[in-house]
Amino acid sequence: MKYEISKQPFTILKLEMNAGESIKCQSGAMAWMSPGIEMETKTGGLGGMFKKMIVGESLALNHYHANNAGELVMAKHCPGDILAFNIGEKPIIAQKSSFLAATENVNMEIYLQEKAGVGFFGGEGFLMQKYTGSGYAWLEIDGAVDVRELAAGEQLIIDSGYVAAMDVTCSMSIQRIKGFSNVILGGEGLFNTVVTGPGKVWLQTMPINALAMNLYAYMPHPSSN
């Protein structure tokens, strides 16, 4: 199977599939495909549906099987990028709801950081996804991507929502923003996310929640009268 990522920022993932190959993807991800590629929707049972609901994925995954060689194209739902990860080389931890597609031997599971407060206050970490197994996973990234390589013990302080993915060797915690005026007037919330190396961190420049809030300011609102 060959893949190509193009058309940024309205990004598409093009898969050239050989006969007999299969992939799984988020519901609604397919944009167009060749004849001879068939879709089957699977829920993964009640346990699988519950896990998907927790991390914000669609409750069912679509599995595409190529009876004949052909093309399968998936499109990102908002401006941004698509990243490809070879999971067989190294497991990856990624933000919830970033999953786009994966080869069939990639496993996805809920990943919990040691400190539950990371998820409730830091915006990242408590509910993320861990990708293991063999093959490729393709993840959706909001905006552009910046990759940082952290040495052992090196830390990066990140505003909540900007962590897209990180190597499994990295760890995550939260840091409270100090100063009353900083919290009230700074516009950065109460906490920052702290990622500690060693490993790579993939940062996204336009978290979808930040984009939505910026657009909301320009939308007409019902009169209070």
Where exactly are the structural domains of the chain? 2-216
Q: Is the pLDDT of residue 183 over 50?
A: no
Whole-number percent of the chain with pLDDT over 70? 74
Per CATH, which fold does 2-216 belong to? Double-stranded beta-helix (3.60.160)
Which of the four pLDDT bands, split at 50, 70 and 90, describes residue 178?
A: low
| Average pLDDT of span 156-168 | 91
Which two tokens mark 99? Answer: 């999953």
Low-confidence winner among 56-70, 122-136, 156-170 (lowest mean pLDDT): 122-136
Burial annotation 112-151 (CB, 10 A radius, 16+ → b, else e) = ebebeebbebbbbbbbbbbbbeebbbbbbbbbebeeeebe
Structure pTM? 0.81
From 138, 141, 28, select the one nearest 80 (Cα to Cα).
Answer: 141
